Amino acid sequence: MAVTLHPQRIALAHVLREPGGRPRLALLESVARERGSDADALARLRRSAGLQRYRCTTLMEPGAYQVVQVNAPAVPADELASALRWAVKDSLDFPAEQAIVDVLQVPSEGAVAGRPSLAFAVAARREKVAERVQAFQRAGVRLKVIDIAEAAQRNVAALFEQPGRGLAMLVLHDSGGLLSFTRDGELYAARHIDIVPDALAADADAERRAAAFERIGLEVQRSLDNFDRQFSQVALQRVVVASTLGTHALVNFLAQNLYLPVEAADLSTVMDSAAFPAFGADLGEQARWLATVGIALREAH
């Protein structure tokens, strides 16, 4: 069960994978938060939603962690996280001694010949991780994994991929934008874009909206060029876009300004979401749920 904690609500998603079929969305629920701590809210859900029956996964909130892509040092696998702690210490906005560090390896296939292996160092604030773990423990809910938005988006992107082809996925939500590059279910690159979708709304100021489109287009084009230089042997298939507002207008703008095909990321075409017709019919709603559904898909990785 994916459990994501937001200031005003808690979101739950459960996905079932069945042999030969599309992943099936079995549960999708948003529960308004009442007064009290995270542990109090989770304890209420343990009773009402039966969370004690599940192994749960959750997300670190934005700002509680950083992801830095670096050259992977030549050390044994069990020493890599420790080595990367000091490799990224100058890139963190908090002391490396206060960080819990994990590693996401970047596949070497597709990279420029002779280039050092790359890895993502994921550094989270130790006190933030402890707070999240303790909230689940106090609520009597089993927490199996604490994940990050980049990995959640990778899981969703994998549903849109063609075998052996690269995919760029752009997601815009309330805390900003994330552009990821994946192939065969593996994350190759990720870049945050400091813009929120309010500027893309149909009723937004026309000048502000045009500037937002131009900025997003420029950021995506630069990222595509950089990816082509880093991973020249990975043929990108297309760009898929998810946004809580203005999806179709953004897709149309990018399609006119990028060299790759651009499409809206409609999860109803890659998942069985028949039990939740409102989710399947609303691209903005899908974008709001994307990270929660993404970590619900995690068991494939």
pLDDT digits 0-9 by tens, 288-300: 999 999 999 987 4
**CATH number of the domain where residue 76 is located:** 3.30.1490
How many Cβ atoms sit within 10 Å of the Cβ of residue 25?
24
Looking at residue 22, its pLDDT comes to 94
What percentage of the chain carries pLDDT values higher than 70? 97
Do both 194 and 239 map to the same domain?
yes
Looking at the structure, tell me whether residues 164 and 207 fall in a common domain: yes
pLDDT tens-digit profile of 32-76? 998 889 999 999 999 999 999 999 999 999 889 999 998 888 788
pLDDT of residue 88: 86
Task: With respect to residue 296, please indicate whether it lies within any of the assigned structural domains.
Answer: no
Mean pLDDT, the chain, rounded, equals 92
Burial 104-139 (b: 16+ CB within 10 A, else e): bebbeebbeeeeeebbbbbbbbeebbeebeebbeeb
Residue 7 domain-assigned (yes or no): no
- Same domain assignment for residues 176 and 235: yes
Stated pTM of the model: 0.94
| 170 and 117 assigned to the same domain | no
- For residue 102, is it within any domain? yes
Q: Please give the biggest Cα pair distance in the chain.
A: 56
So what's the pLDDT on residue 74? 79
Mean pLDDT of 209-222: 96
Verify that 100 and 179 share a domain, yes or no: no
Residue 235 domain-assigned (yes or no):
yes
Residues 101 and 169 in one domain: no
24 domain residue, yes or no:
no
Domain assignment present for residue 295? The answer is no
Q: Is residue 52 part of a domain?
A: no
Q: What is the CATH number of the domain that holds 242?
A: 3.30.420.40
Query: pLDDT tens digits, residue range 241-276?
Result: 999 999 999 999 999 999 999 999 999 999 999 999
Cα–Cα distance measured from residue 108 to residue 162, given in angstroms and rounded to the nearest whole number? 19
Same domain for 240 and 174: yes
Q: Would you place residue 112 in the very low, low, confident or very high pLDDT band (cuts 50, 70, 90)?
A: low
Residues 121, 169, single domain; the answer is no
Residue 60, in any domain of the structure: no
What range defines the domain where residue 260 resides?
Answer: 159-276
pLDDT at residue 111, as a whole number:
66
Number of domains in the chain: 2
How sure is the predictor about 301, in pLDDT bands with cuts at 50, 70 and 90? Answer: very low
More confident residue, 85 or 141: 141
